[in-house]
Structure formats: C-alpha cells, structure tokens
C-alpha cells in the first residue's frame, strides 16, 4: 500500500440515533478507495465530516500526520480536499462556464472577463470529452447526466490531494463512465487519493484498489479489491446474499395499453412510434440526452406534444393528456429521475410523502381519515423497500440519498397506476433493495400492469425487460424483443442517429 494521506480513527456521529459508531479508515496517496454499504450506512456522513460540512461528535482524523479538523468546507479545500457530492450543487441559471469556474471567475478591470471564461471552459470541456457542449448555454438546459459531468469537471480543474466522488456515475451512461474512469486513472497517477462511493460493485472492481464496507455506521472490512470476491463484499454489506431477480416468464396479458404514433416535440423528439403493453416490461435504452426522459415526460403530459398522438390501446381513441393530472387520472404514473426536485417534500414526513397522492384510499365516510390503514400501508412499503428511517414521521430531508428515493418510489406504488413509467428506478439504491425492486417490477407486470423503464445501466434493462427500444438523438432507432438484443447491438443503435455528431 502506498503512503497514507488521511487516516480516520474511531469516528462518531449521532443525530437522533447514532449513525457513525467508531469508523476507522485509511486513505492512501495514488489509490482509489471505494466505500460501499447499504443506503443509510453512513458513507455520505463520513465524507461530509472529512470535508468540513458536518462536525463529528468524536474520534480523530489526521492528514499526512497533522490533525485534520476542518471547521468549514473552505477549510477542507485549503487542505486540498475536493468533493463531488451525491446531490447536485450547481446553479441552473448560470452558464456552463460560470458553473465550472464559479470559485475563480477570470476578471478584467474588475469585471468578469467572459472571453477568457468561455475559452477556459472550452478547454475543460474538451478535456472531459464534452466538446459538443457550448459553455455559454445555461446549465439547466443540459440533461442530468451532463450536469453531473460538469460538476465532476469543476472539481478536477484544480489539482487536489484528496478527491471524494459520492456516486459519480449514478447519472452517467457507459461511455461517459469510461471517460470518467480515464480521468480518475490520470489524477491517481499524479498522487491524488480518491474516495469512491458507488452501489455498483462491478464498477468498484474495475476502478478501485481498495474497498471498505460500512454497515450501520461501522467499518466491517477493508480489503484490497483483488483479494476479495464480489459476493463477499455484498454479503458484508448486509450479512445476507443477494437475491437475484426471479426468472422472467411470459406475462399474463400483452394487449396494448398506449399506442404512441408519430409523436414529436419542438425540442427533441421526432416521429416516435411505440406500443406500450399491459403485462410487459418495456425498456428504453439510449445515451444521456437522447430523449428517453423527454419521451416519458411527453407520455405523462408533462411536456407539450407538438405532433402525432397517443391513443388508448383498448379503444384506439386518442387520449388528450395535457398535464400530469390528466395522465394520473388516466392511470399513468411517472417516477422521475430527478426525484428530489420533482417529487419529494423534503420538510414533510416519510408518511406524508408516501400517501400524498393517495389520501382518497384512506378517506372514510364523513370525511375522516383511517389513520391506522394509512400507517399500515406506509409501514408495508417501508418494509418492502427497506426504507431506513427512525420512524415514518421522520422528515425526508434527514434520510440518506438512497432512502429518499425509496420514499418517492413507494408513493407511486401506493397510487396503484395501470401504466407505470420509471426513469432510472434504482439509481443510488443499494444492491439488496435493487433486487427487491426488480422483483416488484416483475410482479407488477405479472399482475398485468404496463411497466416502462428508462435506465442507463444496460444490465438493468437486459435482465428485466421483455422488449427494449433504443433512442438516439430524439428518435427511436431500434426495437428488440427478448433474446434478440446484445450489448453491442444496443450500443450501435444508441449512436446511430448521431453520425457525424459528437455524442457526449
């Protein structure tokens, strides 16, 4: 092992309950050190303490032999620590360039020197393989995946001694992950220590030198990646084996639920023809920005459709979905990719968030609410999705990233829609719960519901789906039935409409 950079001894932190209970870790120079563990195990809390965002209650940290006790994020930055947080930390209204150089905007005569700013930003974007992005456009005009890459690029501008990446690949597609891994290798070669948090164990095998498993706020093992099996890593996280998804089998129904014809939107989608069927899990593959999310949003009435139509699969009548409210009334649910911004009430309880749209299920004659039925329903989803919270009246802001996402999923499951559109259903969710969600989706399809999944993780689609369609540059470029697809065919179709273009 190379020289130690940061060592953590007996770190403690409690909120209402203890969340770190004596964590010991050692991070070495020129090493990628993966931190893994179930949702709520304490990974982000440790990083927040290293970065001066949160105070520890006890324990000690040393950086190159000197006590490290940052009182603010600035303080930690001065010690050469950079973090790319699990939650986005950018400003949507500012340009890409301003976001990249937010901390050190080039000035000339006291004003921002936009010419050098845009030039510098172009160099950074080029370095990240994102030449197709105009540094002048507002950040919010980019998809979530590209925003994530911008956030990473921003932290890589300055050299640093310790770089923390908290689930950096959650929003990235495979080619973008490759790009990121090349970057990581090069900064590692320069001596930087990297803390890498991910729920994707295959990724950790590829990029990390060392892995530490956290469970309920304790380090259960630290090992050289080459010397530990994947099964062992996963078992250590929860002391149980992964339950693989049950075998897919023919669904009960395959009648059309929705028929999408020649659908187009002003901004991106072109001439989409697609049948969504009851009893089927349909996957939508494609690169970030290819229109996958936009297609779900258009079907859900969240984005305006400018051409074509959606018809009922049952009656062939056109259905006019002008808003999400219309879609919900029709029995369509959308679980969005950016759950935090688009769905959760962070200051409200787990219970309120789960039942928000389904209160009618618990209203009884005379206008009273059957609170025990409500409580029972929320508890059952808490169990099913393994939502880690002190109790169901805890406010959602206090939950870990993955557990917040589970709350959002629970809300839609409770709502009992006939057609469910999932955008990145397991992003940021730990491996055990992920398998539980897979089994749940399979079960929902078996009950006859129409399930549509957008996912950047190709395994997720190939393991789960009955059919996969591929989006490329706003168009549907291929459709595969189960058994017809290969990773190569999906990849080729993802790029097909970008010929001559840069497909970052």
Q: Mark residue 79 as left, alpha or beta (left: phi above 0; alpha: psi -120 to 50; beta: remaining).
A: alpha
Task: Please state whether 213 falls in left (phi above 0), alpha (psi between -120 and 50) or beta.
Answer: beta
Q: Which of 52, 289, 291, 401 binds Mg ion (CB under 5 A)?
A: 401
Is residue 348 close enough to count as binding ligand ATP by CB under 6 A? no
| Among ligand ATP, Mg ion, none, residue 293 binds (CB under 5-8 Å by kind) | none
Is 168 an interacting residue with respect to ligand ATP (CB under 6 A)? no
User: Residue 289 or 402: which CB sits closer to ligand ATP?
Assistant: 402
- Helices (H) then strands (E): counts for the chain: 17, 21
Cβ proximity to Mg ion: between 44 and 477 the closer is: 44
Under DSSP, the state recorded for 141 is G
- Of 430-459, which residues contact ligand ATP (CB under 6 A)? 430
Name which position in 25, 26, 34, 44 contacts ligand ATP (CB under 6 A).
44
Q: Kindly give the residue spans of alpha helices, DSSP state H, lying in 208-250.
A: 230-238
Q: How far is the CB of 340 from ligand ATP (least distance, A)?
A: 12
CA separation for the pair 388, 390 (Å, rounded):
7
Q: Closer to Mg ion at the Cβ: 43 or 297?
A: 43
Report how far residue 87's alpha carbon sits from residue 404's, in angstroms, rounded to the nearest whole number.
Answer: 12
User: Which residue lies nearer to ligand ATP by CB, 301 or 401?
Assistant: 401
Are 331 and 417 a contacting pair, CB within 8 Å? yes
Q: DSSP code of 5?
A: E
Specify whether the CB–CB gap between 136 and 97 falls below 8 A: yes
> Out of 6, 27, 39, 154, which residue is the one contacting ligand ATP (CB under 6 A)?
39
To the nearest whole angstrom, how small is the minimum distance from the Cβ of residue 444 to ligand ATP? 23
CB of 430: closest distance to ligand ATP in angstroms?
A: 6
Asked if 375 touches ligand ATP (CB under 6 A), the answer is: no
| Shortest Å distance, C-beta 402 to ligand ATP | 3
> What's the order of all strands across the beta sheet hosting 272-277?
272-277, 256-264, 307-312
7 binds, among Mg ion, ligand ATP, none (CB under 5 to 8 A by kind): none
Q: How far apart are CA 247 and CA 176, in angstroms?
A: 31
- The interface partner of residue 143, options being Mg ion, ligand ATP, none and the CB cut-off 5 to 8 Å by kind, is none
CA distance 287 to 174: 8
Backbone φ, ψ for residue 359 (5° rounding)? -60, -30
Closer to ligand ATP at the Cβ: 54 or 256? 54
List residues bridging with 479 in a β-sheet: 469
Q: Which residues pair with 28 in a beta bridge?
A: 4
Q: What is the dihedral of CA 344, 346, 347, 351, to 10 degrees?
A: 50
- Of residues 90 through 119, those in contact with Mg ion by CB under 5 A are none
Residue nearest to Mg ion (CB): 44
* Binder of residue 403, out of Mg ion, ligand ATP, none (CB less than 5 to 8 A by kind): ligand ATP
d(CA 437, CA 39): 14
Q: Return the structure tokens found at 383.
A: 């169990």
One residue of 32, 42, 344, 462 binding ligand ATP per CB under 6 A? 42
Site string for ligand ATP, 62-91 (x = CB under 6 A): ------------------------x-----
What is the smallest separation between the CB atom of 346 and Mg ion, expressed in angstroms?
15
* Tally of CB atoms within 10 A around 303: 18
Query: From ligand ATP, Mg ion, none, which one binds at residue 472 (CB under 5 to 8 Å depending on kind)?
Result: none
For residues 302 and 259, what is the distance between their CA atoms, to the nearest angstrom? 18
Q: What tokens appear for 34 in the block?
A: 């993966």
Q: What's the min distance (Å) between Cβ of 338 and Mg ion?
A: 16
Q: Which residues contact 83 (CB under 8 A, 6 or more apart)?
A: 47, 50, 51, 73, 155, 163, 164, 165, 166
| 44 counts as binding Mg ion under rule CB under 5 A | yes
- Among positions 29, 43, 277, 411, the unique one binding ligand ATP when judged by CB under 6 A: 43
CA 186 to chain centre: 25
Smallest gap from Cβ 203 to Mg ion, in A, equals 16
Q: Which residue from 99, 105, 111 is spatially nearest to 138, judged by alpha carbons?
A: 99
The binder of ligand ATP chosen from 8, 23, 25, 41 (CB under 6 A):
41
Measured from the CB atom, is 403 or 458 closer to ligand ATP?
403
Of 46 and 310, the one with the shorter C-beta distance to Mg ion is 46
Stretch that binds Mg ion, among 18-26, 81-89, 98-106, 493-501 (CB under 5 A): 81-89
CA atoms of 22 and 37, how far apart (whole Å): 15
Please state whether beta strands 475-481 and 281-286 pair in parallel, antiparallel, or not at all (unpaired).
unpaired
Residue 194 binding partner per list ligand ATP, Mg ion, none, with a CB distance cut-off of 5 to 8 Å that depends on partner kind: none
> For residue 449, how many other CB atoms are within 10 A of its CB?
23
Residues 186-245 that bind Mg ion (CB under 5 A): none
Site map (CB under 6 A) of ligand ATP, residues 382-421, x = contact: ------x---------xxxxxx------------------
**Out of ligand ATP, Mg ion, none, which partner does residue 39 contact, by CB within 5 to 8 A per kind?**
ligand ATP
Residues lying near ligand ATP in the complex (CB under 6 A) are found at 15-16, 19, 37, 39-45, 86, 388, 398-403, 430
Residues lying near Mg ion in the complex (CB under 5 A) are found at 44, 86, 400-401
């Amino acid at each position: 092992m190379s020289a130690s950079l940061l060592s953590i001894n007996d770190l403690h932190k409690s909120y209402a309950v203890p969340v770190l209970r004596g964590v010991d870790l050692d991070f070495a120079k020129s090493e990628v050190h993966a931190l893994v563990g179930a949702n709520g195990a304490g990974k982000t809390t440790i990083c927040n303490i290293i970065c001066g965002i949160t105070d520890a209650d006890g324990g000690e940290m040393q950086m190159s032999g000197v006590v490290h006790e940052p009182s603010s994020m600035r303080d930690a930055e001065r010690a050469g620590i950079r973090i790319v947080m699990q939650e986005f930390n950018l400003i949507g209204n500012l340009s890409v360039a301003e976001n990249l150089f937010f901390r050190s905007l080039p000035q000339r005569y006291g004003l921002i020197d936009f010419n050098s700013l845009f030039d510098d930003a172009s160099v950074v974007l080029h370095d990240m393989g994102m030449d197709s992005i105009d540094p002048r456009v507002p950040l919010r005009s980019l998809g979530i995946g590209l925003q994530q890459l911008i956030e990473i690029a921003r932290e890589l501008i300055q050299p640093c001694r310790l770089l923390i990446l908290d689930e950096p690949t959650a929003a990235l597609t495979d080619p973008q992950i490759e790009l990121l891994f090349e970057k990581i290798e090069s900064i590692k070669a320069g001596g930087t220590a990297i803390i890498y948090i991910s729920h994707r164990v295959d990724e950790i095998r590829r990029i990390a030198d060392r892995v530490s498993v956290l469970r309920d706020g304790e380090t259960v093992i630290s090992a050289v990646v080459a010397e530990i099996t994947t099964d062992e890593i996963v078992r250590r996280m929860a002391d149980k084996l992964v339950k693989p998804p049950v075998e897919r089998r023919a669904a009960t129904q395959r009648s059309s639920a929705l028929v999408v014809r020649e659908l187009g939107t002003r901004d991106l989608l072109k001439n989409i023809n697609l049948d969504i069927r009851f009893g089927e899990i349909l996957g939508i593959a494609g690169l970030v920005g290819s229109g996958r999310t936009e297609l779900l949003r258009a079907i859900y009435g969240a984005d305006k459709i400018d051409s074509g139509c959606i018809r009922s699969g049952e009656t062939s009548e056109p259905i006019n979905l002008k808003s999400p409210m219309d879609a919900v009334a029709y029995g369509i649910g959308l679980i969005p990719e950016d759950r935090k911004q688009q769905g959760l009430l962070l200051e409200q309880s787990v219970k309120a968030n789960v039942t928000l749209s389904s209160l009618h299920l618990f209203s009884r004659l005379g206008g009273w609410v059957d609170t025990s039925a409500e409580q029972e329903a929320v508890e059952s989803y808490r169990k099913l999705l393994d939502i880690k919270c002190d109790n169901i009246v805890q406010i959602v802001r206090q939950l870990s990233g993955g557990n917040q996402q589970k709350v959002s999923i629970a809300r839609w499951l409770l709502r009992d829609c006939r057609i469910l559109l999932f955008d990145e259903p397991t992003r940021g969710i730990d491996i055990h719960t992920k398998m539980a969600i897979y089994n749940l989706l399979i079960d929902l399809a078996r009950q006859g519901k129409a399930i549509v999944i957008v996912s950047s993780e190709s395994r997720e689609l190939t393991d789960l789906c009955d059919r996969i369609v591929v989006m490329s540059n706003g168009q549907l470029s291929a459709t595969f039935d189960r058994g017809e697809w290969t990773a190569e065919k999906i990849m080729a179709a993802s790029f097909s409409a970008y010929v001559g273009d840069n497909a970052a």
